[in-house]
Chain A
């Protein structure tokens, strides 16, 4: 009897937590895509909540301060960490991505203050939606500049 009481209470809480997790996951899941994958999906991806990452191309960055509208293009970067490692690390992969004109690219629009870390060869990780215009409308923009954090070999090396 006593055990039942506690057991019921516990089961109720468990069910509630499972429901919370399941429903919240469903409501808020974002598909993590690379530029290639997004372009492959094309129109079927329009309107879905997505998480997109790619390498920022320096000379496409435009900022209209009056409307706080930031636009830039990103180039495809693999989403697989092992692959990135195999190709010499994130910094190297980003460098190659922006300097390879054959890579797929996509245009991004973001409204808000220009992030401090935004620059060429940064990795942009964004959440947002693909518009019907084929432009990715980012709601959230994270940037990672791997070279700023760790780099094993100094640049002077190439001069020697």
Chain B
């Protein structure tokens, strides 16, 4: 009953989405405002409709309706209710509905904005959203239907939406349940965060297409979507970080990022998105790079769909890949079609996307921004190459050749280092024109300070050249950025006679994007500390200990005390938990409890590390094995991951920075960015 109902509602929303897109185009072409309004309302209607379908699906999930194939696949009776709800996005069919629902949320929000100044964009924004929504709903309805049920026909069980002839509904006793590895808070939030990021990039893309179609190619579309892009970027970044944190906490290999193709698939739109966020500023301030911004937003959209596709196609061998599914080719087709159509639009509008000024100085802010863009694109090319290399080599040489993490690490390290360097230098350069002299004057103090820090590190911490270069660049970013805060605040103090804190907070409030950006730069430098630490200085040891025996690593002493094993029948889990004492240089620090959870229904182990985290390093202890009969001996693998905590600290600061930058200004009509430096040097565009 609920299954048919949910499917019916999904079908209705599919039709409404199609109507909305068609009405929008028809209304725009025939200049019929009522028709466009009707399209807008239809688009608004998709949100409650898909919400109802989703509610029906969630109802089926929480009420153990295992006759529904999707419910059978992702839930089981032993799962707590909140996990049954989040199982909505735990499997392929449900996650597609989730995608559609998010898109409906965003498009509804966007159609509700005040359109008076840019009403000509409205129908085209609706069209792009409607096409995307129709595609995803269509995938759910025709290929990956979450409401399909099991039917018993002549002793065989078939999943199908509609009853085959002479069939009765088949209801399994219990479901398969979610893989226990995925029953982790990080894993509960990680996919929706990524999806939020993915889906919200549809909106800037829709506006970009609208700008191309209407020919209103000034920076209006960029101004409207600036905050959207920032939020999209926030969610995407946060999703990536959560995935890393989950891997660190759950997968028990002492790492957080493995350059797996699916990780890279989520990372690629992040790269273009980050480049986009930077390069739109050049268009706003200088009227440059209009073609480039279009290409970036199109690429980001294509990579978002491509990323959703990669996880589902089975094309690449990856731990993340869902089972093979018929929808792979449709995704590929959809990406190709939208890519071709968008690029055709750009080519059609090429002449009116010309720059309003010329780039003159190699060291001007816009030139350095351009360099930043090139670096991001280079990293993208490296990633893309790594992902498709097996396919290419098979095509040309017949041998399947892959590249692993060392490839990515080696190829991207110089690029990431250059980005760090730019992060320190670019904010100090001026729009229009800078010289080595002015730049040098602005940065020499920070350089000296960073050198001092590096020398100190050389004598106290490491002689590794790569690490020292890294630390120097990180220190340079930190000093140069903090110096920027200092300079701005001092100048304001002098001019306004405010005290330091007032001046600092006013300064930041008046230039949210700039200082939010600086906070993000600082957070990136902090994250780089963590990455350097774990990549270069990770130490590990292992051993089998009897009670009272010890292992030593990097100044820590780990002493094995005891082991206990018990069942929790209610949750269907057996816990084996070790108790170890941790000492540092003879001083008792506390107890850690690495454990192994064994899930009966899926017959799977889950290794939970015992962690002790400080700013200096993480002690990360895995219980590897134990003797089942007597609990005398247990085997441990121990990692010391120096500085890795800075990665998570940086991530939190990053969140704060993006939220600060994206926070609405007090008075939106007075956008401080517009008043700044470059106003006079810029020729007014026709539509401004």
Complex: A117 Cα to B180 Cα, angstroms:
11
A125-B637 CB under 8 A given contacts A6-B362, A65-B544: no
Determine the chain B residues whose CB is within 8 A of the CB of A148 once the complex forms. 176, 179, 602, 604
Q: What sequence of 0s and 1s flags, for each residue 155-196 of chain B, a beta carbon within 8 Å of any chain A beta carbon? A: 111110000000000101100100101000000000000000
Establish whether residues A30 and B402, one from each chain, have CB atoms under 8 Å apart when the complex forms: yes
Residue of B nearest to A146 (CB): B323
Smallest CB separation, A25 vs chain B (Å): 6
Query: With the chains together, A148 CA to B633 CA distance in Å?
Result: 32
In the bound complex, CA of A53 to CA of B319 (Å) = 13
A95 at the interface (CB under 8 A from B): no
User: B602 contacts which chain A residues (CB < 8 A)?
Assistant: 148
Contact B410 A65 (CB under 8 A): no
State whether A65 touches B635 (Cβ < 8 A): yes
Q: Which of B69, B375, B407, B633 contacts A28 (CB 8 A)?
A: B407
Tell me whether B605 and A113 are in contact (CB under 8 A).
no
Interface residues of A in 1-37 (CB under 8 A from B): 2, 5-6, 9-10, 13, 16-17, 20-21, 23-25, 27-33
Q: How many residues of A contact B (CB 8 A)?
A: 56
- Are B605 and A5 within 8 A (Cβ)? no
B401 proximal to A (CB < 8 A):
yes
B324 touches A30 (CB 8 A): no
Q: How far is the CB of B607 from chain A (nearest CB, A)?
A: 6
A29 touches B401 (CB 8 A): yes
- B603 / chain A contacts, CB cutoff of 8 Å: 119
Chain A residues contacting B407 (CB-CB under 8 Å) are: 24-25, 27-29
Do A81 and B359 contact each other (CB < 8 Å), given the known contacts A20-B414, A144-B319, A152-B159?
no
- Interface stretch, picked from B377-385, B460-468, B582-590, B610-618, is B377-385
| B524 CB, min distance to chain A CBs, angstroms | 21
Which B267-301 residues have a C-beta within 8 angstroms of A? none
* Interface majority SS (helix, strand, loop, mixed), chain A: mixed
Neighbouring A residues of B152 by C-beta, 8 Å: 160
Asked if A150 meets B624 with Cβ closer than 8 Å, knowing A24-B407, A117-B604, A160-B157, the reply is: no
Tell me if A116 and B607 are in contact (CB < 8 A): yes
**A153 close to B314 (CB less than 8 A):** no
Given contacts A24-B411, A30-B401, A150-B91, contact A113 B622 (CB under 8 A): yes
In the complex, the answer to whether B625 meets A53 with C-beta atoms within 8 Å is no
Interfacial chain B residues near A112, Cβ < 8 Å: 637
Query: B382 touching A21 by the CB < 8 A rule?
Result: yes
8 inter-chain pairs at a CB distance below 8 angstroms, sorted by A residue, are A6-B367, A24-B411, A28-B403, A32-B401, A150-B91, A154-B172, A160-B155, A160-B170
* Besides A25-B407, A65-B633, A146-B323, 12 new A-B residue pairs in contact (Cβ under 8 A), listed by A number: A2-B360, A24-B403, A24-B406, A25-B403, A27-B410, A28-B407, A29-B401, A148-B176, A154-B150, A154-B170, A154-B176, A160-B157
Residues of B within 8 A of A (CB): 66, 69, 72-73, 91-92, 150, 152, 155-159, 170, 172-173, 176, 179, 181, 252-253, 314-315, 317, 319, 321-324, 358-360, 362, 367, 371, 374-375, 378, 381-382, 385, 389-390, 393, 399-404, 406-408, 410-411, 414-415, 542, 544, 602-607, 622, 624-626, 633, 635, 637
| A positions within 8 Å CB-CB of B | 2, 5-6, 9-10, 13, 16-17, 20-21, 23-25, 27-33, 51, 53, 63, 65-66, 68, 79, 81, 84-85, 89-91, 112-114, 116-117, 119, 125, 127, 140, 142-144, 146, 148-154, 156-157, 160
